Structure 1
Amino acid sequence: MCGRFSLSAMPEEVREALGLFELEAFPARYNIAPTQPILVVVQSERREPGSNMPERRAMLVRWGLLPSWVKDPNDFPLLINARAETAIGKASFKAAMRHRRVLVPASGFYEWHRPEKGSDEKSQAYWIRPRSGGVIAFAGLMETWSSPDGSEVDTGAILTVASNRSIARIHDRMPVVIAPEDYGRWLDCRAQEPREVTDLLSAPDDDFFEAVPVSNLVNKVSNTGPAVQAPVAESLPSVDRTDRHTGSGQMSLF
């Protein structure tokens, strides 16, 4: 799954990497948590000036998707992730998969290796970042929820898949990363139906990410500075979890 991530790149770097016409300044964020606002990129109906290419724009949504048909959000689970294998058919996600696919810019994400019951291992946090650096884009979904009083809240979730071999030793799920050459396909909800973009919903190559052990500072949402990414000595052996998990262990209702 993906329960924390970071976007510490400069706005200009994000704008260039995602092909945005414009992007307002924003601070570096090292410890983004559920229910907080996250930056997403959508494909606009407008065209870029002097071009026939659809314009991409950035907006903020609450991390935790609320389908439009939900009556009371207090009685609905917080959907920060959606399983890529089943999102097309799930009531909570199928409308967004068809009409509101987005990109979620990130510098990397965090994951925790949780010891199994009876184990003497300790929980270990990891900062998982692309080896080549730079900005990456998670596959995301967006919904606008309307309350009975007429107010609206834009919400979003990140799609996940079974982890590749290098991340599976830490956790059996990881976010979907969309390659830059596929941004247009993923965002084009008018011409590309969900079944036509399912080939994009796979784990990146085993060597795409590197996992850096970090301290438990990242566990607290109030710790928002770069210290949460400071490397520490790894407390775990290099265990291959693929023998113990099959990629179906994400704890969720979907």
Structure 2
Amino acid sequence: MCGRFALTATTDQTAAFLGLAELEEFPARYNIAPTQPILAVLSAGPQAPGSNRPDRAAMLVRWGLIPAWVKETRGFPLLFNARSESVAEKASFRTAMRHRRALVPASGFYEWRQAGGRKGQAYWVRPRHGGLVAFAALVETYAEPGGSEMDTCAIVTTHANADIADIHERMPVVIGPQDFSRWLDCRTREPRHVADLMRPAEPGFFEAVPVSDLVNKVANTGPEIQEKSVATQAGATARQKPRKPETDDGQMTLF
């Protein structure tokens, strides 16, 4: 899954990466959480011959997709992720998958190793060679009962690659720059034409850096949450007890 991420690149760096002519200034964000506004990029639609109009458009969306058919949002689950394996068929996502595929820029994301059903060690997962990535995403415009509209978004996930499989079983789908146009083209390319893009990143693309539990709190938004946590690493090692030999009856001892 992907429940937290960061976007710390400059506005110019982000615009250049996404192929945008311009982008409104925004600050570095180190701890982006569901329900918060995030930057999404969609196709701007077909271009007239000789047009200089940009073919991509950026917009702010709420992280947490609400399908257009929902009548009452209270009690409706927070859909901040969409599983790639079922995204083309699931009622909540199939319309957006067909008509409103998007890219969400990020400097990396956070993941937690589960420990007894609870969040354990936190990791900052970033491109090994630096730079930005673009997560595959879906956008849906929800019309509220009062008449106002809200643009909402979910990040598409797939099974984890070797870089983070020992931390978590899922990871965001990363779309490479060479495939931006194909993913965003909802006019001539159906979901089946881009299904091959919804795959794990190549092994070695990401590195996972252990960080402190400061990231657990949404209120912590400074760069310190990405600092490598040596103390946490040492503590985890110290807590590992040596495995005792098997008993005579062939069963492992409990303690």
* TM superposition shift of 1:45: 2.2
**Alignment partner of 1:45: what SS?**
coil
Residue pairs, 1:153-172, within 5 angstroms: 153-172=150-169
**Alignment partner of 1:75: what SS?**
coil
| Equivalent residue, structure 2, for 1:87 | 87
Question: Contact conserved, 2:31 with 2:218, CA < 8 A, in 1?
Answer: yes
Question: Does 2:181 align with 1:181?
Answer: no
| Equivalent residue, structure 2, for 1:123 | 120
- Residue 49 to residue 220, structure 1, CA distance change in 2 (3 Å): farther
**Alignment partner of 2:214: what SS?**
helix
* TM superposition shift of 1:50: 5.8
| Equivalent residue, structure 2, for 1:104 | 104
**Alignment partner of 2:164: what SS?**
helix
Higher-Rg member (1/2): 2
| Equivalent residue, structure 1, for 2:132 | 135
Question: Contact conserved, 1:67 with 1:93, CA < 8 A, in 2?
Answer: yes
- 1:32 maps to a residue whose letter is I
| Equivalent residue, structure 1, for 2:244 | none
* TM superposition shift of 1:47: 3.9
Cα distance in 2, alignment partners of residues 179 and 192 from structure 1: 17
- Residue 50 to residue 215, structure 1, CA distance change in 2 (3 Å): farther
Residue pairs, 1:38-117, within 5 angstroms: 38-45=38-45, 47=47, 55-116=55-116
**Alignment partner of 1:57: what SS?**
strand
- Residue 89 to residue 236, structure 1, CA distance change in 2 (3 Å): farther
Question: Does 2:206 align with 1:197?
Answer: no
Question: Which stretches of structure 1, 4 residues or more, deviate above 6 A after TM superposition?
Answer: none
Question: Contact conserved, 2:105 with 2:132, CA < 8 A, in 1?
Answer: yes
Which TM-score applies when normalising by structure 1? 0.88
Identity of aligned residues (%): 61
The gaps in structure 2 that reach 5 residues or longer are 238-255
Cα distance in 1, alignment partners of residues 88 and 225 from structure 2: 35
* TM superposition shift of 1:114: 1.1
* TM superposition shift of 1:57: 1.4
* TM superposition shift of 1:46: 6.0
Question: Does 2:217 align with 1:220?
Answer: yes
Cα distance in 1, alignment partners of residues 49 and 150 from structure 2: 29
Cα distance in 1, alignment partners of residues 147 and 222 from structure 2: 37
The gaps in structure 1 that reach 5 residues or longer are 238-254
Cα distance in 2, alignment partners of residues 49 and 218 from structure 1: 48
CA deviation profile, 1:198-217 (whole Å, cap 9, x unmatched): 00000011100000000000
Quote the RMSD (CA, aligned, Å): 1.9
Question: Does 2:171 align with 1:211?
Answer: no
- 1:5 maps to a residue whose letter is F
Question: Contact conserved, 2:112 with 2:119, CA < 8 A, in 1?
Answer: no
- Residue 49 to residue 110, structure 1, CA distance change in 2 (3 Å): farther
CA deviation profile, 1:61-117 (whole Å, cap 9, x unmatched): 000000000001112100000000100000000000000000000000000001136
Cα distance in 2, alignment partners of residues 232 and 48 from structure 1: 53
